[in-house]
Amino acid sequence: MRATVKDVARLAGVSPKTVSNVMNGIVPVSGPTRFRVEQAMAELDYVPNLSARGLRNGRSGVIALALPDLGTPYSAEIAHSVVEVAHEQGWSVQIEETGSDPTREYELMSRARSNLVDGLILNPVVLDESAVKVGVSLPPVVLLGEVSQKLADRVWVDSVAAARDMTLALGRTGRRRIAVLGTAEVRGSAAAILRTRGYQAALGELGIALDDSLIIPCEKWSPDSAARALSAYLDSNPVPEALFCFTDSMAIGALSVLWKRGLRVPDDVAVAGFDDIADAKYAVPSLTTVSFDKRHMAREALRLLTERMADRQGPQRVVAVDYEIVERESTSP
């Protein structure tokens, strides 16, 4: 049986509250007493019971991080950053996956693991305005990404601008038949819609007529799905001059298909991605992509979250994270 404050107190010859005071350091404790208590804690290998502390304090020191699918490199890198940054600040992170079931996003927002977590960082896919019944009190929530949700704090990358910039960059290399891969037709993914919008804006600026046959839909944002979609597309369509994939994962699937078909990248077709996952740099050829600082993103999300926990009533806040077009071999001649 694990030692409790009572046991420590008994051994040190003080009251339980004094032990608590030693741990928390807010109420002053005299030197000798503190020393005796610390001795006793060490001797009994005392570890505080966080359930009890959480019950008493109303705070558990745990935040939840909800992502569509930890198996995808993008989610994994975000998770990595959040866990690291959270750990630095003394938080633990509970992971939830929402991918298999979008209603889980709503669930998590409305109940937030029943006080076992103090806050929630949510990377939604389908969540939108209607997500939250107004009037229901939200737990402290920070959203990651493109979602058009105005009821919670948010950290995001400007997808429209980034997609526009990437399309312009492709256009500047002289390529005109620029395809995009990753539009979700059925389930409205906010990121897909915004990136398509940026793409279209850029085409306008480049004086290129919009050609719907260059918009390649893709069921999921995985290399697998991208490979199948692109393969099917190339079976009945000419090869575009450039292919802008809405995530790096899709781009990696696309590179694989192009290579299998003997199409050279970037000579026959340029390929670009989005997210700058770790493997983008080691793709063959290395992948041009939209890069942003995920560590910084995590830090900002955590900052907004802790501030929200401190002030539940404050105004909504949105933080935009800078991005950068990183040109690598997949687009450079």
Partner DNA sequence: GCCTCACATTACATCGATGTAACGTGAGGC
Partner DNA sequence: GCCTCACGTTACATCGATGTAATGTGAGGC
Residue whose structure tokens are 């389930």: 187
Q: Report in angstroms how near the CB of residue 50 gets to a copy of itself at its nearest.
A: 4
CB atoms within 10 A of CB 27: 10
73, interface contact from a copy of itself, DNA, none, CB < 5-8 Å by kind: a copy of itself
| Residues numbered 16-55 forming contacts with DNA, rule: CB under 7 A | 16-21, 23-24, 26-30, 32-34, 46, 48-49, 52-53, 55
253, interface contact from a copy of itself, DNA, none, CB < 5-8 Å by kind: a copy of itself
Residue whose structure tokens are 């107190």: 9
Q: Report in angstroms how near the CB of residue 2 gets to DNA at its nearest.
A: 6
Q: Report in angstroms how near the CB of residue 251 gets to a copy of itself at its nearest.
A: 10
User: Does residue 5 contact residue 16 with C-beta atoms inside 8 Å?
Assistant: yes
Residue 42 contacts a copy of itself per CB under 8 A: no
Q: Report in angstroms how near the CB of residue 312 gets to DNA at its nearest.
A: 16
Complex with a copy of itself: residue 27 or 116, whichever CB lies closer: 116
Pairing of strands 178-183, 215-217: parallel
| Residues numbered 121-140 forming contacts with a copy of itself, rule: CB under 8 A | 136
92, interface contact from DNA, a copy of itself, none, CB < 5-8 Å by kind: a copy of itself
Residue whose structure tokens are 């690598």: 328
Which 3-state string (H, E, C) describes 123-171? CCCCCCHHHCCCCCCCCCEEEECCCCCCCCEEEEECHHHHHHHHHHHHH
284, interface contact from a copy of itself, DNA, none, CB < 5-8 Å by kind: a copy of itself
CB atoms within 10 A of CB 135: 5
Among 56, 235, 262, 310, binds DNA (CB under 7 A): 56
Stretch that binds DNA, among 8-16, 66-74, 150-158, 221-229 (CB under 7 A): 8-16
Residue 95 contacts a copy of itself per CB under 8 A: yes
Report the distance separating Cα 276 and Cα 288, nearest Å. 8
Among 39, 42, 43, 57, binds DNA (CB under 7 A): 57
Amino acid identity of 101?
D
Q: CA angle at residue 74 from 195 to 280, to 5 degrees?
A: 85
Nearest to 147 by CA among 189, 200, 185: 189
Report the distance separating Cα 17 and Cα 37, nearest Å. 11
**Residues 6 or more apart whose Cβ sits within 8 Å of residue 108:** 64, 66, 96, 98, 120, 122
Nearest to 122 by CA among 84, 59, 78: 78
| Residues numbered 262-301 forming contacts with a copy of itself, rule: CB under 8 A | 278-279, 281-286
My answer on whether omega of the bond before 285 falls inside 30° of 0, hence cis, is yes
Residues that bind a copy of itself (CB under 8 A): 2, 45, 47-52, 54-55, 60, 62, 69-73, 75-77, 79-81, 83-84, 87, 92-97, 100, 111, 113-116, 136, 222-224, 227, 252-253, 255-256, 259, 278-279, 281-286
Residues that bind DNA (CB under 7 A): 1-2, 4-6, 13-21, 23-24, 26-30, 32-34, 46, 48-49, 52-53, 55-58
